[in-house]
Amino acid sequence: MRIATWNVNSIVPRLPRVLDWLEKTAPDVLCLQELKNTTEAFPAAEIEALGYEVAAYGLGRWNGVGIVSRVGLSEVVRGLPGEPQFDGAAEARAIGATCGGVRVWSVYVPNGREPANPHYQYKLEWLEALRSLVASEVAADRPFAVLGDFNVAPTDADVWDITLFAESTHVTKPEREALARLRDLGLSDVFPRPLKYDHPFTYWDYRAGNFPNNKGMRIDLVYGNAAFTGAVKDSYVDREARKGKGPSDHAPIVVDLDL
């Protein structure tokens, strides 16, 4: 089984690239983040024409998540139980489904903006709600993974120059501790196999030179339970999907499993 995750940074302008990537890479399951449209406006028909089922969750704001699968799509849940709101509004940042016997959650963790911003506290509260959800899911006797854009670099090696991030979100101790608490539930980080660089990144700002010079971050993650990670045969960051005209600023992570 091939499972992938990709922050597409707006599904509508990125749709031709997503369709082409689905045909070439042929994942069985693809978790999507940052759709930037509503559930109703998600381009389901175009993806379904390739043989996939679709579950999307979008509220038309700067978030939105989805799961597409060609190995079944059931037990769909939109949103986290007890998740916090920001400025009095819910945000579409998590969706779960069972695909081919594997339970997956596609997540788009809040950015946090900066440590002094209310959005940072919202991020920490959201991560705690995610932990509660994972605790309830991971106990089941089946492969389980939570995948997506976590907006946290787990270690200093996961950013191209840690000195530039000293006062920024994504690398603060509380954020990293929140990730550690997820792992403490029995999850492991499926670290992508380096294809070009010793330490693979998944996100590069659009500023000129950042991507070709690999000035990036590893903030897109795959956390799986023992049944999931024990079946992993290969995993990699598809840098090719970050190249060319009009790409997302993130690249997909692809995980191959022998189930």
**249 is known to lie in a ligand binding site:** yes
CA 183 distance to own-chain centroid: 16
Q: Is 203 a catalytic residue?
A: no
Q: Which entry of 52, 57, 223, 250 is annotated as an active-site residue?
A: 250
DSSP 3-state assignment of 28? coil
**151 is known to lie in a ligand binding site:** yes
**34 is known to lie in a ligand binding site:** yes
Q: Which entry of 52, 57, 108, 122 is annotated as an active-site residue?
A: 108
184 contacts: CB under 8 Å, gap ≥ 6: none
Q: Is 250 a catalytic residue?
A: yes
Q: Which amino acid is at 10?
A: S
**149 is known to lie in a ligand binding site:** yes
77 contacts: CB under 8 Å, gap ≥ 6: 95, 96, 97
DSSP lists the bridge partners of residue 257 as 232
DSSP 3-state assignment of 204? strand
Q: Which entry of 52, 122, 149, 203 is annotated as an active-site residue?
A: 149
* H or E stretch at 66: strand 65-69
**199 is known to lie in a ligand binding site:** no
**250 is known to lie in a ligand binding site:** yes
Alpha helices in 76-185 (DSSP H): 118-138, 173-183
Q: Is 122 a catalytic residue?
A: no
Neighbours of 138 (CB within 10 A): 22
DSSP lists the bridge partners of residue 148 as 107, 221
- The binding site consists of 7, 34, 149, 151, 249-250
Which of the residues are catalytic?
Answer: 108, 149, 250
- The binding site for Mg(2+) consists of 7, 34, 149, 151, 249-250
